Amino acid sequence: MKARYLFPNDYMADPSVNVFNGRLYVYPSHDWDSGECFDDDGGHFQMRDYHVLSMDDVMDGEVTDHGVILDVEQVPWAEKQMWDNDVVEKNGKYYLIFSAKDYSGMFRLGVAVSDTPEGPFRPEEHPIRGSFSIDPCVFKDDDGEIYCYFGGIWGGQLQWRAPLAAPYAPIAQPDSAPAPADAADLGHAPDKKTELFAPAGAPALSSYVVRMTDDVLQFNEAPRPVLIVDENGEPLKADDPHRFFEASWMHKQNGKYYFSYSTGDSHYLCYAVGDNPYGPFTYQGVILDPVVGWTTHHSIVEYKGQWYLFHHDCVPSNDITWLRSLKVMPIEFDENGKIKTMKSE
């Protein structure tokens, strides 16, 4: 089935979609043309605020824009780059968890709270203690526990935090040097002048998962790596085009935990399945082939008995990577219940 462009009036991306009170709410990033040049660290993504959209008929109904729900000017600790966010409900309050750069240039995760899914959201004064990197997805399990999945390599800075010792022993070399043979690019080192590479055969860097405190304002434990393994139980390798890059999403289907993500520089959306929120997750396949535009980012949600893939592409902006448009299409499953690989048309 052809995908629907959700909101032609503006450029938005990275949709995190949740059902609250029987209505579907989309929490995207809000793209605009800041004039910054394209770079490998995502310096062209200079988003400053968040909107929320809602609807009750996914493929045909009217999409309501509830306006700005949080602006970077309101967040004491955040300087710029309001990237992906997600919202979870607990005891009638709504918690928006978002990623932004602090004044030292580090990505952190922050929380803002509202009494309604439409906002406005009141930000906490400080970022979540011990938080780092980008692209939070907040998932409430059936027992009420709330988990946050997050992380991204390259511009998402995950390579600055991972235990880059054995078995990685990463190769660090000046930006200007040619890439080492068979090595996988992990992105800039913190000095932004040196590039880090995983040697051939090294495992891929992982996203992280952490259980949130009861008040949903802090991490309740040290974040744990989200391990994605192949059918033999071996971790996916750093040079595998299906390895994790960014855009974590978690949904639960028939009692199984589906961890899906973007592969970044190979431009796929992929998924892996596990038996509990921490994993490990066994790699299953590609959900979406590459779209027009460098990034691909999504969420998966069931609404009124149908599963949907929300995502974005750059067709309406004629392939301007930092001007993305929201899309949605129904997900199809094969006879074994596996997600059929889709193309966004």
DSSP string, 299-321: EEEEETTEEEEEEEESTTTTS-T
Q: Does 329 bind ligand FUB (CB under 6 A)?
A: no
Q: What is the nearest approach in angstroms of ligand FUB to the Cβ of residue 101?
A: 11
> How many beta carbons lie within 10 A of that of residue 246, not counting itself?
27
Q: Does 134 bind ligand FUB (CB under 6 A)?
A: yes
Q: Does 313 bind ligand FUB (CB under 6 A)?
A: no
Residues 304 and 275: beta-carbon distance below 8 Å:
no
Q: What is the nearest approach in angstroms of ligand FUB to the Cβ of residue 222?
A: 23
Tokens at 181, concatenated: 């043979």
Q: Does 83 bind ligand FUB (CB under 6 A)?
A: yes
Q: What are the residues whose beta carbons fall under 8 Å from the beta carbon of 188, sequence distance 6 or more?
A: 40, 41, 154, 159, 175, 194, 195, 196
Q: Does 46 bind ligand FUB (CB under 6 A)?
A: no
Residue number, 239 or 324, with CB nearest to ligand FUB = 324
Q: What is the nearest approach in angstroms of ligand FUB to the Cβ of residue 175?
A: 21
Q: Does 239 bind ligand FUB (CB under 6 A)?
A: no
Q: Which of 188, 243, 297, 298 binds ligand FUB (CB under 6 A)?
A: 297
Q: Does 247 bind ligand FUB (CB under 6 A)?
A: yes
Note the helical H segments in 27-157: none
CA distance 49 to 262: 23
Residues 135 and 155: beta-carbon distance below 8 Å:
no
Residue of 318, 39, 292, 57 lying closest to 188 (CA atoms): 39
Residue of 315, 295, 322, 321 lying closest to 33 (CA atoms): 322
Residue with tokens 């855009």: 247
Size of the chain in residues: 345
Q: Does 281 bind ligand FUB (CB under 6 A)?
A: no
Q: What are the residues whose beta carbons fall under 8 Å from the beta carbon of 106, sequence distance 6 or more?
A: 132, 157
Q: Does 246 bind ligand FUB (CB under 6 A)?
A: yes
For residue 229, the one-letter residue type is: V
Q: What is the nearest approach in angstroms of ligand FUB to the Cβ of residue 83?
A: 4
Question: Which one is catalytic: 36, 246, 289, 319?
Answer: 246
Residue of 148, 63, 42 lying closest to 97 (CA atoms): 148
Residue number, 156 or 279, with CB nearest to ligand FUB = 156
Q: Which of 16, 18, 29, 131 binds ligand FUB (CB under 6 A)?
A: 29
**Active-site annotation holds for 14:** yes
Q: Does 12 bind ligand FUB (CB under 6 A)?
A: no
Q: Which of 13, 69, 210, 287 binds ligand FUB (CB under 6 A)?
A: 13
Q: Which of 42, 117, 127, 225 binds ligand FUB (CB under 6 A)?
A: 42
Residues making contact with ligand FUB (CB under 6 A): 13-14, 29, 42, 45, 83-84, 134-135, 152, 246-247, 295, 297
List, by residue number, the catalytic residues.
Answer: 14, 246
